[in-house]
Amino acid sequence: MKKKILLKLKQCILSLRKAYNNQKELIIDFLKSDLSGFLETDDCKEKMETLQVHDELELKLATLNIYKCYFTDEEHQKWYDYVIKRAKNSTKRKLVQ
């Protein structure tokens, strides 16, 4: 079970790295991916506490924000800002419905 979770997390990180090479749809895939198995682990609960996030989407957004720091290219910065804003807006819409 733990190997499966680590593999999923590794895939998410690889997806974010690939996004730097203009494969932007992988960021959307990351936001859509199911991290529920990982959320149940003590390691994740500890990380969520450290990052002060409360659910899966907040964890994903925090992860994106962390990775965003590694990209100095202005075009990529704008893209990450857009993706984060879009993810937040879609969550708000879900809450309103």
Report the sign of the C-alpha dihedral through residues 61, 76, 66, 14, in that order. Answer: positive
Per-residue pLDDT of the chain (97 residues; tens, 9 = 90+): 556 655 666 666 666 666 555 555 666 666 667 776 777 778 777 777 877 777 777 777 777 776 666 555 676 667 667 766 776 666 555 555 4
d(CA 31, CA 26): 9
pTM of the model: 0.45
